[in-house]
Amino acid sequence: MLLKKGSTGDDVKKLQNRLGLTADGVFGSGTEAQVKTWQAQNGLVADGIVGDATWAKLFPPSSAGFNLTDAQTKLKGHIPDGVIAQIPAIAAITNSLRLAHFLAQCAHESSVFTVVYENLNYSADGLKATFPSYFPGQLSESYARNPEKIGARVYADRMGNGNEASGDGYTFRGRGYIQLTGKSNYASFGKSVGEDTVANPDLVATRYPLASAGFFFDTNNIWTVCDGGSTDSVITSVTKKVNGGTNGLADRTKLFNEYYAILS
């Protein structure tokens, strides 16, 4: 394999898709720059040339021989049986690498698969610290320890929600292992599973906590980031896509390494 500036064809398109670029099949300056950035982030010589080593890391052969049933068996006793049973519903899980990254992020976000509802039971000080722009002055005093009022306010008029008076912010608060939030996201997810999760939002927590997390990975193009490998830099990249930052990175890394070792 050798792709470099000036190369054309289907392999270039595949490369561009993997890097999140417009797949026109022409290896130009933009593609070269992105390759160099990716190489630097993944411990490779940043020469902008895609040889065998770079290609293998971009497209790890981990899907070869992957058996989901075997993976589920290996995970027994390490994560709850109810979580294991939900894994086959997520079509994008095609290799151990994706599964380990996904489970690590879900486990961290849900306190190891125990939390499926967003906790909005904030004190006045907690509201000021967490949502300072929504609670200026002493306003937090009248909302403290009232999750319904808090949710209605902080999620009002965004993500498809109505105004504060509508109560949509609380109705469509975070649910699932990676908190699905907002009426428009509930509507889109419901269409993907053939359920009316706008009329029945608790389904996200009770029936689809893992599938809704898979939907989050799908819509935010996180699977291809997972395909980057098992290095700390890839775990960090996945974490940033899930969290928006690197909160809890050490725990996410620990969980990934545990799950990947079990699945490998």
Distance (Å) of CA 138 to CA 98, 128, 153, 155: 46, 9, 15, 20
Three-point CA angle 23, 61, 249, nearest 5°: 85
Share of the chain above pLDDT 90, in %: 77
pLDDT of 63 reads 55
Residue 246 backbone phi and psi in degrees, to 5? -125, 30
- Among the residue ranges 37-41, 101-105, 106-110, 258-262, the one predicted with the least confidence is 37-41
What distance in Å separates the CA atoms of residue 99 and residue 30, rounded to the nearest whole number? 31
Residue-level pLDDT at 61:
54
Q: Assign 38 a pLDDT band (cuts: 50, 70, 90).
A: confident
Provide the whole-model pTM: 0.75
Average pLDDT, the chain: 92
Condensed to tens digits (0 to 9), the pLDDT of residues 195-221 reads: 999 999 999 999 999 999 999 999 998
Residue 25 has which token pair? 């099949």
HEC letters along the chain: CCECCCCECHHHHHHHHHCCCCCCCECCHHHHHHHHHHHHHCCCCCCCCECHHHHHHHCCHHHCCCCHHHHHHHHECCECHHHHHHHHHCCCCCCHHHHHHHHHHHHHHCCCCCCCECCCCCCHHHHHHHCCCCCCCCHHHHCCCCHHHHHHHHCCCCCCCCCHHHCHHHHCCCECCCCECCHHHHHHHHHHHCCCCCCCCCHHHHCCHHHHHHHHHHHCCCHHHHCCCCCHHHHHHHHHHHHCCCCCHHHHHHHHHHHHHHHC
Task: Confirm if 172 and 201 have CB atoms less than 8 A apart.
Answer: yes
Mean pLDDT for 118-147 is 95
